[in-house]
Chains A and B, each alone.
Chain A
Amino acid sequence: MNYLVDGLRQALLLLAQGDAATFSAVWTTLAVTFEAMAATLVCGVPAGFFLGYATFPGKRAARLLVETFLSFPTVVIGLVVYAFLSRRGPLGEWGLLFTVPGMAVGLTILGLPIVIALTAQAVENLDPRLRPTLLTLGAKPRHVFWATLSEARFGILLATTAAFGRIVSEIGISMMLGGNIKWDTRTITTAIALETGKGEFATGIALGLVLMGIAFLVNLAAAVCRRRQAA
């Protein structure tokens, strides 16, 4: 039990002293999460809106495909993206393997099905009176699109926080595509795995605390947003 308390004490000390290696992993995590979330939302929200709003042949198959990807093993995503980004792969000349953007590609593939599926569900669950209401008030197609997105904002916010939680805490993809290179592609999760393996509990706990803090702050911000928008 003592080593846990000691680990926690040392972890707080590391954070208070601004340990460079610890904060390098934190910044890398924030950078890769930001890039992956931006790509996920830019691609996922319109795709989810289309899937939830439009009627087209093959819609049910598309929905099934997206839902299948929700439970896709992350190691397989890492493996497939690795195969594409490695030097012998079709995208090898882009030089993305073992870089932050390369990790972001893999994490985007992880987050996309979450955002698409939850956005589609949010749009599908909207009140069927919404569209005729907007039309009778004089809305044109682009107004209908934006107002529908706005009405589905709570669901989209939920999709965003769910995808964030998945991306920020992912380890398999980060390890395979980033390589866990210190000062460069080492993230909080890969660092925790490494430090724990080395018996360095203090660093692992410190990084774990930061990760939980980030997750808490993001969820708090989402809750505040939701509360303000609902008022």
Chain B
Amino acid sequence: MSALYELSDIVQRYDGREVLCLPQLSIAAGSIVGLAGPNGGGKSTLLRLLAFLEFPVAGEVRYRGQATRGREFALRGEVTCFPQEPYLLKRSVRANVGYGLALRGATDIRERVDAALAQVGLDPARFAGRSWRQLSGGEVKRVALAARLALRPAVLLLDEPTANLDRDSAELVRRAVLSAREAHGATLVISGHDQPWLRAICDDILWLADGRLAGPAANPGPSGAVSDNTTFAGNSGRQS
């Protein structure tokens, strides 16, 4: 399986403090990669790099074998990110889910919005016309996820998608994100603390602590150790 992302010698700092240091990491196209680890371990930072929302202070992120700097607006057309605390625009549910589709000039927005809402377990007839303020916290998360699924992205990055969701909603999210790979071959990178949930969905799981891929001794993760300078290749397993 070919590498979709190749990260090399990555260093990211905020206010001079190093928050991420990855000598090497690659993610295979079509894989589902989990990111586990303690709070502040660098999971969200890594997701922001993969989403091209920011660039590292050192090192390079390559996507489909090509450099990414200066191409972020084009690349975000196929890579989308579901944040830890999603934000809805002050519009209706339909307008929120259809926003990205409208930017892409899609002509079948209504159908795709309805399908995406159904995918996350929200009845379009009941929810599409609702205002952003008429949703519960869990519904906001599901609408935000529907907005990403509707885009049929090549890469879907999810930052703790099941945080604060009940078990049924977490299961709905699991099915929805799995369908993104099954239906459109999307590559998924998912961070989270719910390790059983991650184990149930991911081909492999990386353990990030203190901004580094943790070594075997420090790795209480579910799927074994990952050495600090390991190349990761998604569902093809880890390769030294």
Contacts and interface: CB of A to CB of B under 8 A. Distances in A.
Interface of A: 127, 129-130, 132-133, 135-141, 143, 147, 150-151, 153, 229-231
A230 B92 CA distance: 9
Contacts of A130: 87, 89
B56 interface: no
B227 interface: no
Interface stretch (B61-69, B76-84, B117-125, B181-189): B76-84
A111 B31 CA distance: 57
Contacts of B100: 137-138
Contact of B83 (A132, A139, A141, A147): A132
11 contacts: A129-B83, A132-B53, A133-B87, A136-B51, A136-B82, A137-B99, A137-B151, A138-B80, A140-B103, A141-B73, A150-B90
Contacts of B148: 136-137
Contacts of A136: 51, 53, 76, 80-83, 148
Interface of B: 48, 51, 53, 73, 76-77, 80-83, 85-87, 89-90, 99-100, 103-104, 131, 133, 147-148, 151
B87 A138 contact: no
A143 B102 CA distance: 11
Contacts of B73: 140-141
A207 B103 CA distance: 49
Nearest to A130: B87
Contacts of A147: 89, 99
A140 B82 CA distance: 18
Contacts of B89: 130, 133, 147, 150-151
A135 B99 CA distance: 11
A151 B148 CA distance: 20
B149 to A, nearest CB: 12
Contacts of A129: 83, 85-87
Nearest to A151: B90
A151 B89 CA distance: 7
Contacts of B82: 136
The 8 closest A-B pairs by CB, nearest first: A129-B87, A137-B100, A136-B81, A133-B87, A138-B103, A138-B77, A136-B80, A138-B100
A135 B53 contact: yes
A146 B82 CA distance: 22
A231 B86 CA distance: 20
A117 to B, nearest CB: 22
B87 A231 contact: no
A138 B80 CA distance: 8
Contacts of A127: 87
Contacts of B147: 137
B51 to A, nearest CB: 6
A135 B85 CA distance: 15
Given A135-B76, A136-B80, A151-B89, 20 more contacts: A127-B87, A129-B86, A130-B89, A132-B48, A135-B53, A136-B148, A137-B99, A137-B100, A137-B103, A137-B147, A137-B148, A137-B151, A138-B76, A138-B77, A138-B104, A138-B151, A151-B90, A153-B90, A230-B133, A231-B131
A138 B77 CA distance: 5
A138 to B, nearest CB: 5
A230 B89 CA distance: 11
Most buried by A among B77, B90, B131: B90
A133 B86 contact: yes
